[in-house]
Amino acid sequence: MKNLLLLFLLFAFGKSSAQWQQTNGPFSDAITSLTADGSNLFAGTYLTGVYLTTNGGANWAPVNTGLTDHFIWSMTSVGSTIYAGSHLDGVFISTNNGANWTPSNTGLTDFRINEMESSGATLYAGTNYFGVYKSINGGATWTVDTIGMGAQSTKALAMNGDTLFAGTYDHGIFVSTNGGASWTQSNNGLDSSTVDDIVISGNKVFAGTVSGLFVSTDNGASWTPDTVGLGNQGVRALAVYGINLFASTGAAIYLSIDHGASWALDTLGMGSRNVSTMLISGNDIYASTSTGTTNGMVWKRSLTGIVGINEPPEKNTFGIYPNPTTGKFTVTLNKTGKASLRIFNALGALIEEQPLDERPGEMAKEIELNVAPGIYFAQVVMDGRLSNQKFVVQ
C-alpha cells in the first residue's frame, strides 16, 4: 500500500510541477531587464540593445533603430508605449513595438537610468547619481526633487497606492507619500544599505537586499527578515503572482506560495544559475541568466498549477499533531461537517487528496505520507470554505 501511495505522489508531483525551459534567445551578453506589452516581450541587454519576441521566446530579433546607447539598464511599459533606460544616453521611447526609438530626456541631468517604474500615466526613473526623476506627460519632460533623499544612486522602485519606495545603493530605502516631492529614509529593522529590488504583494512590501530578504507590513515603517527556507542569502530580483512570490539569490530561484512565510527552491529544468531579473507576463514567468556580462539567456516557466496558500484570518477548523512530523500525523476537525483534505508541497503542487469521513464520536484521521523532509501545507475544505495549515516533515 505504501508503494502505491509513493507512486501516486510521484505521479502527482510530476504532473503538477512546472519546470523552467530555456527560450531561443540569440544573446551574446547579459540580460539586464525585461518588460512586456501583451504578447510582445522585450529584453534589454548589456551591450547589444533590445530584443523582441512575439511568440513567447520561440524567436527573438534585435529592435535597435534609433538607440544611440545599446547598454540598457532598465525597461518598463505603459499601454503600448515601451521605455528603455540606458547607461549613458538616458531614456528612449518606442510606440511601435521597438521598430523605432526616440530619446526623451528633457529635464534629465543624470543619463544613467538604473530603474524605471510606471503608475498610470506617471513615470519614475531611478538614476545613478541624482535620485528619482518624475514625468507626468509620458516621458516628454522630467523633474526631480531630492528633499529628504539627496542625490542617491537608486536601484529599485515600487508603488503601493500613493506610496513610492526607492531602494538605493548604500543608504537603504526611502519612502515618498506625495509622488516623489519629498522623501523619508525608512530603514528601521533593515540590516542592509544596498537594496536591489522591491515588490508589493497585498499588505506586504518585500525588499531584496545584499543581506537577504526583508518584509514590511506597515508600508515601510519597519522591516523584518524573511528567512524561512531562504536564509540570509542576498536577493537580487523579485516577482509577484498573487500571494505567490519568486526570489532570485543570484545563484538560484526560490518560490513562496504562502505570501513569503516560507520558501523552497524552484530550479527544476534550470538548475543553479545567476538570475538577474524576472518578469510575470500572462500565465508565465520569465527569468534572465548570464555568466558575468556574457552568455545571456531567458528562461520561461508556466504559472499554471501554482496554488497559493494564504494564512487564514480566523481560527482553523482543523489541527495537525504532531507537528513537526516524520510523515505520520493525525488531522483533527474542530467542528462537524463533510470535509476533504488536500496536501501541497512547498511549490504548491497537489500531492495528496482524500475525504475526511466523519463518524459519530470520531473527528480525527491518521495520515501517513512517504515524502522527502521539508515544508508542506494541509488544506481542509469544509462546507465550501478553505482552511490551511503549514506542517514540517523531518
Confirm if 277 and 196 have CB atoms less than 8 A apart.
no
Band the pLDDT of 20: cuts 50, 70, 90.
very high
Do 236 and 378 sit in the same domain of this protein?
A: no
Do 298 and 374 sit in the same domain of this protein?
A: no
Q: Which residue has the cell 500565465?
A: 283
C-alpha distances in Å from residue 328, one per residue of 117, 320, 370, 374? 48, 10, 9, 14
Specify the CATH number for the domain of residue 315. 2.60.40.3080
Tens digits of per-residue pLDDT, 331-362? 877 666 677 888 888 777 788 888 876 554 45
Do 147 and 194 sit in the same domain of this protein?
A: yes
Specify the CATH number for the domain of residue 109. 2.130.10.10
Do 363 and 263 sit in the same domain of this protein?
A: no
**266 vs 346, which has greater pLDDT?**
266
Confirm if 277 and 226 have CB atoms less than 8 A apart.
no
Do 128 and 185 sit in the same domain of this protein?
A: yes
Domain that holds residue 240: 18-302
Do 281 and 314 sit in the same domain of this protein?
A: no
Is it the case that residue 387 has pLDDT exceeding 80?
Answer: no
Do 69 and 195 sit in the same domain of this protein?
A: yes
Tens digits of per-residue pLDDT, 271-294? 888 899 999 998 899 999 887 777
Band the pLDDT of 308: cuts 50, 70, 90.
low
268, 302, 336: which is the final residue of a domain?
302
Size of the chain, expressed as the number of residues it contains: 394
Terminal Cα-to-Cα distance of the chain (whole angstroms): 22
Do 28 and 79 sit in the same domain of this protein?
A: yes
Do 187 and 242 sit in the same domain of this protein?
A: yes
Do 223 and 124 sit in the same domain of this protein?
A: yes
Number of folded domains in the chain? 2
Is it the case that residue 203 has pLDDT exceeding 70?
Answer: yes
Do 286 and 333 sit in the same domain of this protein?
A: no
- By the 10 Å C-beta count (0-12 exposed, 13-18 middle, 19+ buried), 101 is classed as buried
Band the pLDDT of 314: cuts 50, 70, 90.
very low
Q: Is the omega angle on the peptide bond into residue 324 within 30 degrees of 0, that is, cis?
A: yes
pTM of the predicted model as reported, rounded to 2 decimal places: 0.80
